[in-house]
Structure formats: structure tokens, C-alpha cells
Structure 1
Amino acid sequence: MQRWDRIEAFVEVVRLGTFAAAARELSVSPSHVSRLVAQLEQQLGTALLYRTTRQIHLTDDDEGRLYFTHCRQLFDGFREAEAALSDLQERPRGLLSLTSATTFGERFIAPLANAFLLEHPRLEVRMHFTNRQVDIIDEGFDIAIRMGKLEDSTLIARRLCERREYVVGAPAYFAHVSQPHSLAELSRHRCLVGSRDHWRFAVEGVRREVRVPGVWRANSGPALLDAALKGLGLAQLPDYYVDPYLASGELISVLDAYRHDDTAVWAVFPRHRQRSPKVGQFIDHLVAHLPSSLPGRTGTGAGSGVMASSFLWHR
């Protein structure tokens, strides 16, 4: 160990040009560096450095220069090895397990996960798409993609992008009934119900959930959209379902004054996964690419990089 300390001191003195600079690099005193170099010269039985009051040079013969050349290569190799190991530790690898709502996961998360896997071939990915609420800790998931308002918990959440929900109906449906202008009027309408039997609104800035009469039920977003397009009733659906049909006039949005804004898309994950490269870098990947993937979204500002450390979507 002493020999390596002496060699390192010698290399740093030559590389930086002074004992003082080498001492700062090694976090020791200049006198200690000078003593290490002197001990190395004594050990080798030859002078390696020529010292003046202002400068330090390698000895003019071949010994000092040759010894420095080989020793520098050794320490350069050590630094490269450490950098390579650090880089390897920062690369995503192992199994990345994630869950998301079915349609959103199939349309947006899966393509981005596949692209991420191409960039990181040492990674394995398991995706589970379901509309039921998953307990990500008990079921062993690294990340869950959730929509809506998050509640206090020990899980960590990161906002990925914005998302809005619309109450929509087809012109064929409104040909027979008038458009609702208040939440109370929903009780007189045919409502198409998905995986939940209540719709979310905002009344004077306060979140409100309204139980709606379900004349039609399915736990499928595409089926719900198809029923709305065929004029079977009103449906509450997110923007990535209805944006094209609102633009074409095939669907009409109603009750816009009551539309709530706490329906963003989040990535939530257990606190012990926070420092995992596979989790952090995959979420960075979603933040960078998800906003531009959603219909009607432009730019990259929707995905915030701010961590929210005390939120949970009901697990």
C-alpha cells in the first residue's frame, strides 16, 4: 500500500507541476507529498525529479520519464476502471415491473417502454395492464401509472403529463334530448358507465363526485366510446379517447363549466425504489416523451420533473 501511495504522489506531482497542487488533489500536506516522493526515489535507488525553487522536472535521463510514463498509464487505467464501473451501476438493468390502466397503458406506456428497452438491452420489462386498483408494494411492482388526484401516503409520485375528462354525447343522442347545463340534470339522462359508477366534477373549485344512473355498463373504455358515438347516452371519458371526435363533431362536450382539473397522469413508486437507475431513468423517459404522445398536446412542458414525496393513489 505504501508503494502505491508513493507512486500516486509522484504521478500527481508530475501531472500537476507542483507539490502543493498534488497535495490539494490528494487531500494531504505538501510536506507529506514531498516525503512520499523521496521515499519512492530511495526505494528505487534513483532520482525521478529535478527540483528547483520554482519548478519541478523529470530527471533528464530515461529513468524518470520512463517510470512516469508507465505509472501514469496504471493510474489512468484505474480511473477508467472506476468510471466504467460507475457507468455500469448507473445503467438500467434487471427486471422493471410496471402497471397501468389498460387502454392508457396499451396506447402510451407500452410503446415508450419498448423504446426504452431498445436503449437498455440489459433490462427486462414486465407490463401488467388492468383497470382494477393494484397494490404495487404487495404485488411487487416498481412503478404504477395512475390518473387523478393523489392522496397522502408514503409512496412517491411524479407528474407525467396533463389529462382532462369530458362528458360527451353524440348529435344523434341530443336530437332527442336537450343538453344538460347543470349536474342535477344528469339524473334525467341516459348515462353510460365504465369501471366506476360516479363521475368527477368541480363545483366552484371544490371536487365533487356524482353518482350517475347507469343504463349501460362496461369496464372497457373503447366499448364506452363506441356506445357514446352510437348515440346511446352520455359518457365521461378522458381526452385521449374523445379529442378526435370532438374535433370532427361526432361528439359534443357538455358540462364544461364543471370539468375538474385534478386528473393528471402520475408515476407512483415505493420509496425504496427512488434511487434505482431503472426506475428513475424510465420515469425520465416518460416525462420526456409522454406529453408529445397524447392527442392535442404540443411541446414538452406538461411533464413536470418535480418529485412529490408524500402522495398515493389508493393502492
Structure 2
Amino acid sequence: MYRFHGVLEFVEVIETGSFSAAARKLGKSKAYVSQRVSQLEDRLDTRLLQRTTRKLSLTDAGEIYFRYAKSVAAQLGEGEERVRDFQHSLTGRIRVSIVDGGLGEWYLAPALARFAALHPGVNIELDLSSRLVDLVAEGFDFTIRVGRLEDSSMMARKLTSIRYGLYASPAYLKSQGIITHPEQLQQHNCLTGATNRWQFKLDGNVIEVKPHGSWHSKSGQALIAAAREGVGVVRTANFYAKEALARGEVVELLTDWTREKTRVWIIYPSGRHLPQRVTAAIHFLLDEFRDHDYL
């Protein structure tokens, strides 16, 4: 039997002066409170209260026990208040796992840093990794991932989307020829990344190309660097190509064709009461990217 069963009820009976008053304060029935106190007496194998029709009084054993029980009840009450305050305060640690690379380093990490600057009582522990993490087993509060959701038991909120483009350097196109149709990519050196298919859509037509070439990397920065140097044609997230495009080091190809877009998700455990600091961080990120439907 749980050793503290009946302790709080016993203290309330003494402090309020009756089982009825204690029951009202605790939000329980009189029978429930009486049963808990009786179970406490049975466990201690002694009578704590003298019960008469007119009043309640403590036995000698009850006097001794009440002094300690009152202290325990006060500490438990204070502990509950501390936990509630902590749960609803913006203090404490937040463990986050976010996708690595440009998305994590250029967009997500700075956004979380802005949140931390606003709330100095929050400690951010940031893991940048492309691996799939087990939120519960590894103790993460939430994760940010790209693409298809694998675990339907988790809650997911769309943060933004990534738009992809097709890029090559002017020097490469001058030597290898202009690309005007996706099927021409089969005759070009394609710089490949995490995906082994490139999909293009135009006026209801869908063309899927399996790229092949001499350069492979899961790093978007490495891919666009190779494209700048004229190694080949790359399909990558627009944000990787933005600066090179502005400097004229690469040009965008097949702009009439629609490329696939990938969603970015905030994922967190379902069915749990999230601490206020975690909820605040999630809402902050959603607000930060609200006007950025595409990156």
C-alpha cells in the first residue's frame, strides 16, 4: 500500500475540524476521506482520532503523527506549486534535434537563437543531424525534419516548405549545350544528392529523370560549389543557390517546369503535457516562418 495514502486527508480533517469540511476542501466525498483515514490508522496499527458525534480529537499517537504529517503535507503542497510554476515558466532546458546542413545552420539555428535571446532563463541544447531520432527514448522535446513523416504516433506541424531548382554554370552550358527539356538531362553530368530521382511537371505532364554523373554528395553546399565550378547540373534547394545565382555564377534552368516541393515539419510527442517553454519555442518558430511558405 502506498505509504502516503491518507496523510493529506488526515491533516485536512484536523485543520478543518471535521470529515465533511475536509471532504469539501479536497473535492472528495465524506466517505472517501473517512476511508482513507481509517486505512492510515490500519497501516500504523493505532488509532489517531477519537471520534464522537460532537467532535473529533487527537489521541496521543495522533498528536505525534500530526506534527510530522503536517510538515509532509506542507512540503508536498510547496512541491506541487513549484512544479506548476516550472511547468508554466519559460525556464529550463529544451532539447531539440534539427536537420543539419543549410536549413539547420542558416535558418533554424538562428531562429532558435532569437528565441533564446528573448528568454534568458531557457537553455537550448541543439543537435544538428540528418538521422531519425527517437524523441522519447533520447529525451528530445521536439525535432525538425524534412519530407515524409515516418511516425504517425507523433504530432506534426508544418513549418515551411523547400523549393528546388535546377542550376548549372554559364561555362558548363556553353561547353555542353543549353538544356530546354528534362529528358536532355540524360546526356548531362548530373550532380546528385540524397535523392535518386528528379521530377518535373508542366501542363499536366510529369517527367521523372534518374540522374547520373561524376559528383555525389548529401551536402547542398558541396553540390552548388561543384556546379559553380562547371562540373555539371545540380538540382538543389533554392537557398543553396541564391548567392551564386545573384553573382551570376550559376543560372536556373527549366524554370517553366515545376519541381517537387518538400515540407519541413516540427514533430513532438503526442498525448503529453508539454512544458510552457517547449510550447513557446514551437509557437515562436511557427510565427518566424509564417511568412516564408517557401525557402
Identify the TM-score tier after normalising by the shorter chain: 0.5 to 0.7
Among candidates 292, 296, 302, match of residue 292 of structure 2: 302
What is the letter of the counterpart of residue 221 of structure 1? Answer: G
Q: 1:145 to 1:95 in 2, by over 3 A?
A: closer
1:102 counterpart residue number: 101
Distance 1:100 1:179 in 2: 34
Structure 1: which 5+ residue stretches go unaligned? Answer: 6-81, 292-299, 305-315
2:198 corresponds to 1:229: no
CA-to-partner distance for each residue in 1:149-187, whole Å, 9 max, x for gaps?
A: 546822222122232110100101100122323322211
Q: What SS does the aligned partner of 1:159 have?
A: strand
Q: What SS does the aligned partner of 2:162 have?
A: coil
2:215 counterpart residue number: 216
Distance 1:243 1:209 in 2: 25
Q: 1:219 to 1:272 in 2, by over 3 A?
A: same
Contact 2:155–2:268, Cα closer than 8 Å, also in 1: yes
2:141 counterpart residue number: 142
Q: 1:129 to 1:210 in 2, by over 3 A?
A: farther
Distance 1:198 1:118 in 2: 41
Q: 1:146 to 1:179 in 2, by over 3 A?
A: farther
Distance 2:94 2:150 in 1: 28
TM-score (normalizing by structure 2) = 0.62
Q: 1:154 to 1:121 in 2, by over 3 A?
A: same
Distance 1:277 1:213 in 2: 48
1:89 counterpart residue number: 87
Contact 2:183–2:209, Cα closer than 8 Å, also in 1: no
Superposition CA RMSD, Å: 3.4
Q: What SS does the aligned partner of 2:111 have?
A: helix
Contact 2:158–2:263, Cα closer than 8 Å, also in 1: yes
Q: What SS does the aligned partner of 2:256 have?
A: helix
Q: 1:88 to 1:206 in 2, by over 3 A?
A: farther
Distance 2:200 2:281 in 1: 32
Contact 1:116–1:282, Cα closer than 8 Å, also in 2: yes
Q: What SS does the aligned partner of 1:164 have?
A: strand
1:197 counterpart residue number: 196
Contact 2:95–2:125, Cα closer than 8 Å, also in 1: yes
Superposed, 1:172-187 pairs within 5 Å as 172-187=171-186
Superposed, 1:33-112 pairs within 5 Å as 88-92=86-90, 93-112=92-111
CA-to-partner distance for each residue in 1:115-165, whole Å, 9 max, x for gaps?
A: 322333343322222234445455443322223354682222212223211
1:60 counterpart residue number: none
Distance 1:275 1:154 in 2: 16
Distance 2:203 2:152 in 1: 27
Distance 1:201 1:274 in 2: 43
Q: What SS does the aligned partner of 2:156 have?
A: strand
- Using the TM superposition, name which of 238-247 and 127-136 deviates more: 127-136
1:248 counterpart residue number: 247
Contact 1:91–1:120, Cα closer than 8 Å, also in 2: no
Contact 1:100–1:130, Cα closer than 8 Å, also in 2: yes
Residue 260 of structure 1: how far off its partner (Å):
3.1
Q: 1:140 to 1:178 in 2, by over 3 A?
A: farther
Residue 242 of structure 1: how far off its partner (Å):
1.2
Q: 1:83 to 1:302 in 2, by over 3 A?
A: farther
Contact 1:189–1:233, Cα closer than 8 Å, also in 2: yes
1:129 counterpart residue number: 128
1:163 counterpart residue number: 162
CA-to-partner distance for each residue in 1:170-216, whole Å, 9 max, x for gaps?
A: 10110012232332221111011123333344465688753210311
- Identical counterparts, % of pairs: 30
What is the letter of the counterpart of residue 104 of structure 2? Answer: G
Distance 1:140 1:267 in 2: 16
Q: 1:124 to 1:301 in 2, by over 3 A?
A: same
Distance 1:257 1:272 in 2: 44
What is the letter of the counterpart of residue 89 of structure 2? Answer: R
Structure 2: which 5+ residue stretches go unaligned? Answer: 1-11, 17-79
Tell me how many residue pairs correspond in the alignment: 219
Residue 103 of structure 1: how far off its partner (Å):
2.4
Distance 2:211 2:137 in 1: 33
Contact 1:287–1:303, Cα closer than 8 Å, also in 2: no
Q: 1:203 to 1:278 in 2, by over 3 A?
A: farther
CA-to-partner distance for each residue in 1:201-255, whole Å, 9 max, x for gaps?
A: 4465688753210311123221111111111101111121112332333211112
Q: 1:279 to 1:162 in 2, by over 3 A?
A: same
Distance 1:124 1:146 in 2: 21
Contact 2:96–2:141, Cα closer than 8 Å, also in 1: yes
What is the letter of the counterpart of residue 91 of structure 1? Answer: S
2:257 corresponds to 1:258: yes
